[in-house]
Amino acid sequence: MLKHTRMRTALAAMAVATAWTFAPPARAAFIASMQQAGSDVVMTGSGSINLADMSLFDSRSDAGSNVFPNQALVKLGPATPGPFYWYISLNTGPVSLGTIAQTFANTGSGDYVAIYGNGSALGVPVGYVSNTPLVDTATFTNATFASIGVTPGLYVWSWGSATDGSYDTFTLQIDAVPEPATALMLGVPVAFTWLARRRPRVR
């Protein structure tokens, strides 16, 4: 009985490990979050972007970090204007995040990165090279989700093609609560630790 129990436990752990190893890789190369932090709304972003299947259509100095909910426009990075490369050819994604017009961030830092759902466009720093790391933040002081007009939820834009390896996504999470998939990812290591500790002791 003890041998069978240990075998079932080992097989369960192997099944979880196999599913974890061979699950399709997450395609969200750039992930941004917007959260209420006390009396402020804070956006943070990190990751990289693949531009292989995008077309450059503009290079200009543009406004700094802001949100334009009824256009699905989100910009992260410095709050002051700066140089952007704008690319087009988003495949899919929302064209609205809410109902209110533009609200500019009070402070921001890092790399300029933007998504413009209603314009099917993506913004990156001038001179950006595909797949290099990007990190940024922006803060709206004395603000709430309601005051800047965003609707909490998970928003994903995609571009490129899986056949040539150019497929990529920009993900925005407007909420303080982790998505179930995120919670599952965080829980897998805990599950392995629990299984290891549940090994029966042989007397």
pLDDT truncated to tens, each residue of the chain (203 aa)? 544 444 444 444 444 344 333 333 444 489 999 999 999 999 999 999 999 989 999 999 999 999 999 999 999 999 999 999 999 988 999 999 998 889 999 999 999 999 999 999 999 999 999 999 999 999 999 999 999 999 999 999 999 988 888 899 999 999 965 445 544 443 443 343 333 334 444 44
Taking the complete model, does pTM exceed 0.75, yes or no?
Answer: no
- Give the closest residue to 160 by CA, choosing from 81, 51, 63: 51
Residue 11 has phi, psi (to 5 degrees) of -65, -40
- Looking from the CA of 200 toward its CB, the CA atoms found within 13 Å total 12
| Collapsed DSSP state (helix, strand, coil) of residue 11 | helix
CA distance 151 to 63: 23
